Amino acid sequence: MTTGVRINKYLADQGICSRREADSLIAAGKVRINGVVAELGSRVLPTDIVTTKGKRGPAKRYLAYYKGRGIITHSPGPDEIDIATKLRRDYGVQDVYPVGRLDKDSEGLILLTNDGRVTRELLSPEHGHEREYDVTVDKPVNDWFVRHMRQGVKIERYTTKPALVERNSRNPKRFTITLTEGKKHQIRRMCAALGYQVQSLKRVRIANITLGKLKANQYRKIQGEELVTFLAQLGIK
């Protein structure tokens, strides 16, 4: 299946030049995709970095978004709505893309950007950037549960990496967990392996970016010192 958009359409959509101008730039070898000279007909994925000689690309944008329950991160079905569509309809925000996923029944922080470097760095499994979650399960959390969640839980043939786990002092069924990996439905599967069922799951932090005072389906710009620290943690200059 063909994916991405044609490079000339991408450059036009980004406001860099017309499609005809784009074809001329491409033919002259002045357009690169991830450092490789583009060809007429090359296609661009959301995570790709496109550079052009003599033309300035779009400004980098970084957003923190509170994904509400029931919203799809990517590729919605016929009766579903995804983050990009929700942002466009509610706020007119477009041309930024979610970094990673958060399943339909979960809520909380999602980062969106048009900077492919962030996507590659955050989703790279060997870099281990922290992600913190607030979780409520179906019965009180005990010492045995906390110990196993901290040490690592075997889910199918994989044992999860050590995690930071802290109980909530006011609700015995609630805890926070900080992971440095992102397996599919990982927290739900870890809890299920120990005989617990997740009732609610909210991501509250990615690296130094926190959900803060955002309410469901609201967003804010990541900028200033917060952005400087974030990019530094990712090793991006």
Output the 3-class SS for 38-85: CCCCCEECCCCCEEECCCCCCCCCEEEEEECCCCECCCCCCCCCEHHH
Active-site hit among 23, 82, 95, 103: 103
Backbone angles phi, psi at 15, to 5 degrees: 75, 15
Structure tokens at 216: 């469901």
Catalytic (active site) residue 103: yes
Q: Give the integer Cα–Cα distance in Å for 205 and 207.
A: 6
Environment class of 203 (CB within 10 Å of its CB; exposed 0-12, middle 13-18, buried 19+) = buried
Residue 60's CB: how many other CB atoms inside 10 A? 15
Lookup result for tokens 């969640």: 149
Could you list the active site residues?
103
